[in-house]
Amino acid sequence: MRMRKKKNGDLRFERCAGWTIETEGLKEQFYSHFDPKKPIEMEIGSGKGRFIVAHARENPDRQYISIERVKDCLIMGMEKALAKGLSNIKFFCLNAEDLLEYMPEESMDIIYLNFSDPWPKSRYAKRRLTHRRMVKCYLPLLKKGGKICFKTDNRDLFDFSVEEFKDLGFELSELTYDLHATDTPNIMTEYEERFSSMGVPINRFVAKPSEQTYALLSKVEK
Protein backbone atom coordinates (compact mmCIF):
# COMPACT_ATOMS: atom_id res chain seq x y z
CA MET A 1 0.00 0.00 0.00
CA ARG A 2 1.60 3.29 -1.10
CA MET A 3 0.93 6.18 1.24
CA ARG A 4 2.12 9.74 1.43
CA LYS A 5 3.93 10.32 4.74
CA LYS A 6 1.35 11.51 7.25
CA LYS A 7 1.80 14.82 9.03
CA ASN A 8 2.22 14.55 12.80
CA GLY A 9 2.71 10.78 12.53
CA ASP A 10 4.60 10.55 15.83
CA LEU A 11 2.04 12.64 17.67
CA ARG A 12 -0.85 10.62 16.28
CA PHE A 13 0.93 7.38 17.19
CA GLU A 14 1.47 8.67 20.75
CA ARG A 15 -2.24 9.45 21.09
CA CYS A 16 -3.02 5.81 20.30
CA ALA A 17 -0.16 4.36 22.36
CA GLY A 18 -2.64 2.34 24.44
CA TRP A 19 -3.42 0.28 21.33
CA THR A 20 0.06 -1.12 20.94
CA ILE A 21 2.54 -2.92 23.21
CA GLU A 22 6.31 -2.57 23.39
CA THR A 23 7.66 -5.45 21.30
CA GLU A 24 10.81 -5.96 23.36
CA GLY A 25 10.11 -8.93 25.61
CA LEU A 26 6.62 -9.34 24.15
CA LYS A 27 7.07 -13.02 23.34
CA GLU A 28 7.84 -13.86 26.97
CA GLN A 29 5.11 -11.58 28.39
CA PHE A 30 2.51 -12.26 25.70
CA TYR A 31 -0.04 -13.87 28.03
CA SER A 32 0.10 -11.02 30.50
CA HIS A 33 -1.40 -8.93 27.66
CA PHE A 34 -3.64 -11.54 26.02
CA ASP A 35 -5.98 -13.95 27.83
CA PRO A 36 -5.04 -17.51 26.81
CA LYS A 37 -8.62 -18.66 27.56
CA LYS A 38 -10.12 -16.41 24.86
CA PRO A 39 -9.58 -16.83 21.10
CA ILE A 40 -6.90 -14.69 19.46
CA GLU A 41 -7.14 -13.73 15.77
CA MET A 42 -4.45 -11.96 13.73
CA GLU A 43 -4.52 -10.11 10.40
CA ILE A 44 -1.17 -9.84 8.61
CA GLY A 45 -0.95 -6.81 6.30
CA SER A 46 -4.01 -5.09 7.76
CA GLY A 47 -3.53 -1.77 5.94
CA LYS A 48 -5.79 0.93 7.39
CA GLY A 49 -7.44 -1.59 9.71
CA ARG A 50 -11.09 -1.49 8.71
CA PHE A 51 -11.52 -5.30 8.69
CA ILE A 52 -9.78 -6.14 11.95
CA VAL A 53 -11.32 -3.20 13.85
CA ALA A 54 -14.82 -4.20 12.68
CA HIS A 55 -14.16 -7.80 13.80
CA ALA A 56 -13.01 -6.56 17.21
CA ARG A 57 -16.11 -4.41 17.54
CA GLU A 58 -18.46 -7.26 16.61
CA ASN A 59 -16.75 -9.86 18.83
CA PRO A 60 -15.89 -8.37 22.22
CA ASP A 61 -15.20 -11.86 23.63
CA ARG A 62 -12.36 -12.43 21.11
CA GLN A 63 -8.93 -10.78 20.96
CA TYR A 64 -7.44 -9.25 17.80
CA ILE A 65 -3.94 -8.45 16.59
CA SER A 66 -3.20 -6.22 13.61
CA ILE A 67 0.17 -6.62 11.89
CA GLU A 68 1.18 -3.96 9.37
CA ARG A 69 4.67 -2.98 8.32
CA VAL A 70 3.78 0.57 7.19
CA LYS A 71 3.43 2.75 10.28
CA ASP A 72 1.23 5.41 8.66
CA CYS A 73 -1.30 2.71 7.72
CA LEU A 74 -1.12 1.14 11.16
CA ILE A 75 -1.86 4.49 12.81
CA MET A 76 -5.09 4.79 10.81
CA GLY A 77 -6.25 1.45 12.21
CA MET A 78 -5.21 2.46 15.72
CA GLU A 79 -7.22 5.67 15.41
CA LYS A 80 -10.30 3.67 14.42
CA ALA A 81 -9.90 1.48 17.53
CA LEU A 82 -9.33 4.57 19.70
CA ALA A 83 -12.46 6.26 18.30
CA LYS A 84 -14.53 3.19 19.20
CA GLY A 85 -12.81 2.67 22.55
CA LEU A 86 -12.08 -1.00 21.80
CA SER A 87 -10.22 -2.93 24.48
CA ASN A 88 -9.79 -6.24 22.60
CA ILE A 89 -7.37 -5.21 19.83
CA LYS A 90 -3.66 -4.36 19.61
CA PHE A 91 -1.57 -3.11 16.68
CA PHE A 92 2.04 -3.89 15.82
CA CYS A 93 4.27 -2.29 13.21
CA LEU A 94 6.07 -5.48 12.19
CA ASN A 95 7.09 -7.42 9.12
CA ALA A 96 5.52 -10.86 8.76
CA GLU A 97 9.02 -12.26 8.39
CA ASP A 98 9.88 -11.33 11.99
CA LEU A 99 6.71 -12.38 13.80
CA LEU A 100 8.19 -15.44 15.48
CA GLU A 101 10.63 -13.19 17.31
CA TYR A 102 7.73 -11.40 19.03
CA MET A 103 4.77 -13.78 19.36
CA PRO A 104 4.64 -17.26 20.89
CA GLU A 105 4.09 -20.37 18.80
CA GLU A 106 0.58 -21.86 18.71
CA SER A 107 -1.05 -18.68 20.02
CA MET A 108 -3.48 -17.77 17.16
CA ASP A 109 -6.84 -19.33 16.38
CA ILE A 110 -7.19 -17.62 13.00
CA ILE A 111 -4.71 -15.81 10.74
CA TYR A 112 -6.28 -13.54 8.10
CA LEU A 113 -4.48 -12.58 4.88
CA ASN A 114 -6.59 -10.01 3.06
CA PHE A 115 -5.68 -8.56 -0.34
CA SER A 116 -2.02 -9.31 0.22
CA ASP A 117 0.43 -7.54 -2.08
CA PRO A 118 0.49 -9.67 -5.27
CA TRP A 119 4.16 -9.17 -6.27
CA PRO A 120 3.26 -10.14 -9.88
CA LYS A 121 6.84 -10.48 -11.16
CA SER A 122 8.12 -14.01 -10.62
CA ARG A 123 11.47 -12.75 -9.36
CA TYR A 124 9.61 -11.28 -6.36
CA ALA A 125 7.31 -14.27 -5.79
CA LYS A 126 9.10 -15.10 -2.54
CA ARG A 127 7.68 -11.89 -1.04
CA ARG A 128 4.06 -13.04 -1.47
CA LEU A 129 2.53 -13.77 1.93
CA THR A 130 1.26 -17.08 0.54
CA HIS A 131 4.69 -18.16 -0.76
CA ARG A 132 6.06 -21.11 1.23
CA ARG A 133 9.02 -19.04 2.41
CA MET A 134 6.61 -16.56 4.05
CA VAL A 135 4.17 -19.23 5.26
CA LYS A 136 7.09 -20.75 7.17
CA CYS A 137 7.51 -17.40 8.97
CA TYR A 138 4.00 -17.25 10.43
CA LEU A 139 2.46 -20.74 10.39
CA PRO A 140 4.10 -21.74 13.72
CA LEU A 141 1.96 -19.02 15.34
CA LEU A 142 -1.22 -20.92 14.49
CA LYS A 143 -2.74 -23.21 17.13
CA LYS A 144 -3.25 -26.84 16.14
CA GLY A 145 -6.76 -26.91 14.65
CA GLY A 146 -6.49 -23.22 13.69
CA LYS A 147 -7.07 -21.84 10.21
CA ILE A 148 -5.82 -19.31 7.68
CA CYS A 149 -8.46 -17.26 5.83
CA PHE A 150 -7.26 -15.71 2.58
CA LYS A 151 -9.13 -13.38 0.23
CA THR A 152 -8.05 -11.31 -2.74
CA ASP A 153 -9.35 -9.68 -5.90
CA ASN A 154 -6.19 -10.79 -7.73
CA ARG A 155 -6.91 -14.01 -9.65
CA ASP A 156 -3.26 -14.70 -10.48
CA LEU A 157 -2.26 -14.41 -6.83
CA PHE A 158 -5.23 -16.56 -5.84
CA ASP A 159 -4.35 -19.32 -8.33
CA PHE A 160 -0.73 -19.24 -7.18
CA SER A 161 -1.84 -19.43 -3.54
CA VAL A 162 -4.23 -22.36 -4.14
CA GLU A 163 -1.40 -24.32 -5.81
CA GLU A 164 1.15 -23.36 -3.16
CA PHE A 165 -1.12 -24.31 -0.25
CA LYS A 166 -2.18 -27.60 -1.90
CA ASP A 167 1.48 -28.42 -2.55
CA LEU A 168 2.16 -27.80 1.12
CA GLY A 169 -0.53 -30.28 2.16
CA PHE A 170 -3.05 -27.74 3.44
CA GLU A 171 -6.69 -28.80 3.42
CA LEU A 172 -8.61 -26.09 1.53
CA SER A 173 -12.30 -25.37 2.11
CA GLU A 174 -14.88 -22.67 1.36
CA LEU A 175 -13.01 -22.00 -1.89
CA THR A 176 -14.88 -19.50 -4.04
CA TYR A 177 -14.11 -17.26 -7.00
CA ASP A 178 -16.99 -14.94 -6.09
CA LEU A 179 -17.26 -14.46 -2.35
CA HIS A 180 -19.99 -11.83 -2.58
CA ALA A 181 -22.24 -14.25 -4.49
CA THR A 182 -22.15 -16.68 -1.52
CA ASP A 183 -23.93 -16.34 1.82
CA THR A 184 -20.64 -16.49 3.78
CA PRO A 185 -20.68 -13.83 6.51
CA ASN A 186 -18.14 -11.24 5.42
CA ILE A 187 -16.58 -8.05 6.71
CA MET A 188 -15.12 -5.99 3.88
CA THR A 189 -11.62 -4.55 3.90
CA GLU A 190 -10.69 -1.17 2.40
CA TYR A 191 -9.32 -2.86 -0.75
CA GLU A 192 -12.32 -5.17 -1.02
CA GLU A 193 -14.71 -2.22 -0.92
CA ARG A 194 -12.74 -0.51 -3.67
CA PHE A 195 -12.39 -3.50 -6.02
CA SER A 196 -15.85 -4.95 -5.53
CA SER A 197 -17.43 -1.55 -6.22
CA MET A 198 -15.64 -1.73 -9.62
CA GLY A 199 -17.28 -5.12 -10.26
CA VAL A 200 -14.18 -7.24 -9.59
CA PRO A 201 -15.12 -10.63 -8.01
CA ILE A 202 -13.44 -11.56 -4.74
CA ASN A 203 -11.69 -14.94 -4.32
CA ARG A 204 -11.45 -16.67 -0.95
CA PHE A 205 -10.35 -19.89 0.68
CA VAL A 206 -9.88 -21.23 4.19
CA ALA A 207 -6.79 -23.39 4.80
CA LYS A 208 -5.95 -25.85 7.57
CA PRO A 209 -2.44 -27.31 7.80
CA SER A 210 -1.86 -31.06 7.99
CA GLU A 211 1.05 -32.99 9.57
CA GLN A 212 2.55 -33.07 6.06
CA THR A 213 2.50 -29.24 5.95
CA TYR A 214 4.86 -28.96 8.91
CA ALA A 215 7.15 -31.66 7.52
CA LEU A 216 7.33 -29.95 4.10
CA LEU A 217 7.89 -26.48 5.59
CA SER A 218 10.75 -27.75 7.74
CA LYS A 219 12.68 -28.28 4.48
CA VAL A 220 11.93 -24.78 3.13
CA GLU A 221 14.74 -22.24 3.41
CA LYS A 222 13.79 -18.78 4.70
Ligand X SMILES: C[S@@+](CC[C@H](N)C(=O)[O-])C[C@H]1O[C@@H](n2cnc3c(N)ncnc32)[C@H](O)[C@@H]1O
Should residue 190 be labelled a site residue for ligand X when binding is judged by CB under 6 A?
yes
When binding is defined by CB under 6 A, the residue of 42, 47, 165, 209 that contacts ligand X is 47
- Rounded Cα–Cα distance for residues 62 and 58 (Å): 9
Which residue in 61, 109, 117, 159 is the catalytic one?
117
- Rounded Cα–Cα distance for residues 113 and 150 (Å): 5
Should residue 46 be labelled a site residue for ligand X when binding is judged by CB under 6 A?
yes
Are the beta carbons of 28 and 65 closer than 8 angstroms? no
Instruction: State yes or no: is 109 an active-site residue.
Output: no
Q: Choose the stretch contacting ligand X; rule: CB under 6 A; options: 23-31, 81-89, 94-102, 142-150.
A: 94-102
**Three-state SS across 33-70?**
HCCCCCCEEEEECCCCCHHHHHHHHHCCCCEEEEECCC
Quote the least distance from Cβ 131 to ligand X, whole Å: 11
9: helix, strand or coil: helix
Quote the least distance from Cβ 81 to ligand X, whole Å: 15
Q: Choose the stretch contacting ligand X; rule: CB under 6 A; options: 13-21, 81-89, 110-118, 153-161.
A: 110-118
Strand partners, 66: 43, 91
Quote the least distance from Cβ 218 to ligand X, whole Å: 21
Active-site annotation, residues = 117
